[in-house]
Amino acid sequence: MTRARSSSSPPALHARLLAWFDRFGRKDLPWQTNPTPYRVWVSEIMLQQTQVATVIPYYLRFIERFPDVDALACATLDEVLHLWTGLGYYARARNLHRAARIVCEHYHSELPRDINLLMQLPGIGRSTAGALLALAHGERHAILDGNVKRVLARFHAIEGWPGAPLMEKKLWALAETHLPATRLRDYTQAFMDLGATLCTRTQPACSRCPLTGDCAAHAAGRVMNFPAPQPRAAKPVRKITFVLLRNRAGAVRLMQRPPAGIWGRLWSFPECTHRTERKIQRWCESELGFIVAQVERHDPLRHTFSHFHLDILPVVAEVTGRRPAVMETCPAVWYNITQPDARGLAAPVKRLLLELAKHPARKIHDANGELRKTGPRGRSPQAPAVSGRARQTDF
């Protein structure tokens, strides 16, 4: 049910929002300086499902390495994934890289101004395309990211989960209705800022919100009821074993994952479903061709994805020989943990390699199964680009 308050009109909403933005809005974010279409595009992709504070250091490193779309298109995917390591949702990086090559090849290195053409590029949906055109060019397009959905759902007291098709259709219509005729760049940023700083999911600051006087959810005393949460089923749990193969020189075996599935094209450890030492030894010999003399189990850890939990058992296996008849089916390297290079890694792989480099002869987890913090006063250290140079030896 939609309940719009007649006391509010679209001009009232955008006028209040812009007045608030002039006083309190964020105007010094890195992508707001010289907001070229490319810089805005990179920021919008990174900001999908990720907070501003998390994105800023990744964005600065990314733009320094790839200052324009040509530099990004000419890079290897490994270089791109390396700079994305730790930011998560790696399909964003793969799509960004693929889209950059399309832009260079088909659009003379200029992002198209037509919203329909933008939406044909990998990783760009309707809201991202609208944000890009509004923020980079000041064009009149609505956006509907998570922050905007939450503000509109509360302002109009719209029942339901925003991801449901009917609910989303209503929210798009309202987002377009509220668009002002001018100052589209500021208005778009203001809407996102309001949701990120005041109209937050928990503990919204209604007393400081410029829209409180016309907010239907606030008038009904039901702010926390909007928007409705996504119906959730219990997340399934999958179990795998990470096999940290070490050769005589102390290098660790890494294999590149296939393009599809989790951590696509990232580098990871060989993995199997076996949990006992003897079965892991046999698997290493039959599937990888490595003769393993010793397997040391470490405490398990959990990595959570949006749709399932992944319980990982890390084991360190010392390689003593090789069966040359076994052929590997994907790219692999012996990774020298003391000489990292640019390579994309999944977050748990990066952290395990860092711990292995710091404490090669010790257990790398505490009794609770969590990765130990090795930085001073509990702060995690800055991890190097954890990946290594291939060595001439086979084991």
Q: In this predicted model, what pLDDT tens digit does every residue of 128-156 receive, in sequence order?
A: 999 999 999 999 999 999 999 999 999 99
Examine the domain organization and report whether 38 and 181 are in the same domain. yes
State the average pLDDT for the chain: 87
Examine the domain organization and report whether 324 and 368 are in the same domain. yes
Which one of 86-90, 176-180, 272-276 scores highest in mean pLDDT?
176-180
Chosen domain end from 196, 225, 254: 225
Chosen domain end from 225, 258, 288: 225
Backbone angles phi, psi at 122, to 5 degrees: -60, 130
Examine the domain organization and report whether 155 and 42 are in the same domain. yes
Residue 219 has pLDDT above 60, yes or no: yes
Residue 5 has pLDDT above 90, yes or no: no
Say if 3 falls within a structural domain: no
Q: What pLDDT is recorded for position 393?
A: 38
Say if 5 falls within a structural domain: no
Q: What pLDDT is recorded for position 394?
A: 44
Contact 337, 357 (CB under 8 A): yes
- Cα separation values, 53 from 62, 137, 238, Å: 15, 25, 31
Give the pLDDT band of residue 210 (cuts 50, 70, 90): very high
Examine the domain organization and report whether 39 and 184 are in the same domain. yes
Residue 324 has pLDDT above 80, yes or no: no
Dihedral of the CA atoms 366, 372, 378, 382 (nearest 10)?
180
Measured CA angle at 138 (ends 90, 116), to 5 deg:
55
Domain count within the chain: 2
* CATH code of residue 337: 3.90.79.10
Residue 68 has pLDDT above 90, yes or no: yes
Say if 1 falls within a structural domain: no
Residue bearing the bigger pLDDT, 330 or 350 = 350
Examine the domain organization and report whether 256 and 203 are in the same domain. no
Q: What pLDDT is recorded for position 355?
A: 86
Could you read off the pLDDT of 367-385 as tens digits, one per residue? 333 433 333 333 333 333 3
Q: What pLDDT is recorded for position 328?
A: 67
Query: What percent of the chain lies above the pLDDT cut of 70?
Result: 87
Which one of 11-20, 207-216, 373-382 scores highest in mean pLDDT?
207-216
Examine the domain organization and report whether 307 and 160 are in the same domain. no
Q: What pLDDT is recorded for position 375?
A: 34
Please give the sequence-ordered ranges of beta strands (E in DSSP) within 104-250, or none if there are none. 237-246
Q: What pLDDT is recorded for position 338?
A: 85
Please tell me the pTM assigned to this model: 0.75
Examine the domain organization and report whether 87 and 150 are in the same domain. yes
Give the pLDDT band of residue 325 (cuts 50, 70, 90): low
Question: Residue 141 and residue 129: Cα distance in Å, rounded?
Answer: 9
Chosen domain end from 198, 225, 252: 225
Say if 190 falls within a structural domain: yes
Say if 324 falls within a structural domain: yes
Residue 52 has pLDDT above 50, yes or no: yes
Say if 392 falls within a structural domain: no
The average pLDDT across 293-320 equals 91
Closest CA to 56 of 85, 87, 91: 87
Contact 36, 136 (CB under 8 A): yes
* CATH code of residue 97: 1.10.340.30
The average pLDDT across 65-70 equals 98
Say if 2 falls within a structural domain: no
Measured CA angle at 303 (ends 299, 304), to 5 deg:
145
Contact 295, 306 (CB under 8 A): no
44: annotated active-site residue: yes
Give the pLDDT band of residue 234 (cuts 50, 70, 90): confident
**Any idea which of 192-206, 265-279, 300-314, 372-386 has the lowest mean pLDDT?**
372-386
CB neighbours of residue 257 within 10 Å = 20
Examine the domain organization and report whether 134 and 245 are in the same domain. no
Residue 20 has pLDDT above 60, yes or no: yes
Question: Residue 137 and residue 118: Cα distance in Å, rounded?
Answer: 14
Examine the domain organization and report whether 129 and 198 are in the same domain. yes
Q: Which residue range is the domain that position 265 belongs to?
A: 237-378
Residue 157 has pLDDT above 90, yes or no: yes
β-strand pairing of 309-322 with 237-246: parallel
Give the pLDDT band of residue 125 (cuts 50, 70, 90): very high
The average pLDDT across 71-84 equals 96
Residue 392 has pLDDT above 70, yes or no: no
Examine the domain organization and report whether 242 and 162 are in the same domain. no
Examine the domain organization and report whether 192 and 256 are in the same domain. no
Give the pLDDT band of residue 322 (cuts 50, 70, 90): confident
Q: Which helix (H) or strand (E) holds 55?
A: helix 52-65
Say if 296 falls within a structural domain: yes
Could you read off the pLDDT of 341-358 as tens digits, one per residue? 788 998 899 989 988 888
Q: 44, 79, 159, 328: which is the annotated catalytic residue?
A: 44
Examine the domain organization and report whether 29 and 174 are in the same domain. yes
Q: What pLDDT is recorded for position 94?
A: 95
Q: What pLDDT is recorded for position 360?
A: 64
